[in-house]
Amino acid sequence: MNDIERTTPMRAAMTRIRFKGAAVAAASAAMAVVLTACGGDGGSDKSEGKPKESSTSSDSQKNEAPEPEATDENQVLATIKGKDGVEVIVSSAERESGGFITVKGRVKNGSQQIWTAAGWQGTEQEVVGNGASMAGATLVDQSGKKRYLILRDTDGRCLCTKFDGLAQGGEAPFFAQFPAPPAEVTDVDFQIPTMPTATIKISG
């Protein structure tokens, strides 16, 4: 009986020690879980924040990018009025890197009939076979006293617009390419057979 009384408090004390140890271990484990969870969330927030910030910055850059300037297709270097209401509007004469000039514009048919560019192909034997076209057009450098004929390929086909016929009140674009005069020349006379001469300014 006395042995039992001595050992019971001892067992109770041991039980209390074990209980406290278990509680401390449980608390430590719980604290570790909490710290791990906090660390994971913090890392996740930072990693998720970076792509969002980058995306916003990218979108802002896209919105601020300048738009390309629109070209002015209605620019007029010269207006040439021929007989029967036919009109030529020259919009550009630009130097190209290959050593030639491209003249562009449009033709308006204000006559009372279909227009076929009669006579515009010129009388030169090499280009007369181009038919309804601007093959007879030329550029004249008055200061250098030189005339530039329209460019053509080895078969005599001009580097210019060929017309199929323009209905009454119709309008069609044109282009014509010539050898480029010296770089210091900025003004030339544009001549089309049967039409008045117009002075145009070279750009580029």
* pLDDT computed for residue 10 by the predictor: 46
Question: Cα–Cα distance between 181 and 188 in angstroms, integer?
Answer: 9
Q: Are residues 60 and 82 in the same domain?
A: no
Q: Are residues 167 and 131 in the same domain?
A: yes
Q: Which pair of structure tokens corresponds to residue 183?
A: 């770089």
Is 72 domain-assigned?
no
Region label for 41, one of left (φ > 0), alpha (ψ between -120 and 50) or beta (otherwise): alpha
Q: Are residues 86 and 158 in the same domain?
A: yes
Neighbours of 117 (CB within 10 A): 27
The owner of tokens 């913090």 is 42
> With contact defined as beta carbons under 8 Å apart, do 166 and 107 qualify?
yes
C-alpha angle 51-57-58 in degrees, rounded to nearest 5: 85
Helix (H/G/I), strand (E/B), else coil: 60: helix
Any long-range contacts for 42-49 (C-beta under 8 Å, 24+ apart)?
A: none
Mean pLDDT of the chain: 76
* pLDDT computed for residue 124 by the predictor: 85
- The verdict on pTM exceeding 0.75 is no
CATH number at residue 138: 2.60.40
180: pLDDT strictly greater than 90: yes
Helix (H/G/I), strand (E/B), else coil: 52: helix
DSSP state of 130: G
Can you give the residue range of the structural domain that contains 103? Answer: 78-201
Q: Which pair of structure tokens corresponds to residue 202?
A: 């070279």
Q: Are residues 59 and 83 in the same domain?
A: no
Helix (H/G/I), strand (E/B), else coil: 147: strand
> Residue 105 — very low, low, confident or very high, per pLDDT cuts 50/70/90?
very high
Task: Give mean pLDDT, residues 150-174.
Answer: 93
Q: Are residues 187 and 97 in the same domain?
A: yes
* pLDDT computed for residue 72 by the predictor: 53
Q: Are residues 163 and 118 in the same domain?
A: yes
Q: Are residues 107 and 30 in the same domain?
A: no
Helix (H/G/I), strand (E/B), else coil: 113: coil
Is 100 domain-assigned?
yes
Is 73 domain-assigned?
no
- Best-predicted range by mean pLDDT among 30-34, 62-66, 68-72, 77-81? 77-81
Task: Give mean pLDDT, residues 6-29.
Answer: 45
- Per-residue pLDDT tens digits for 46-63: 444 443 333 333 343 333
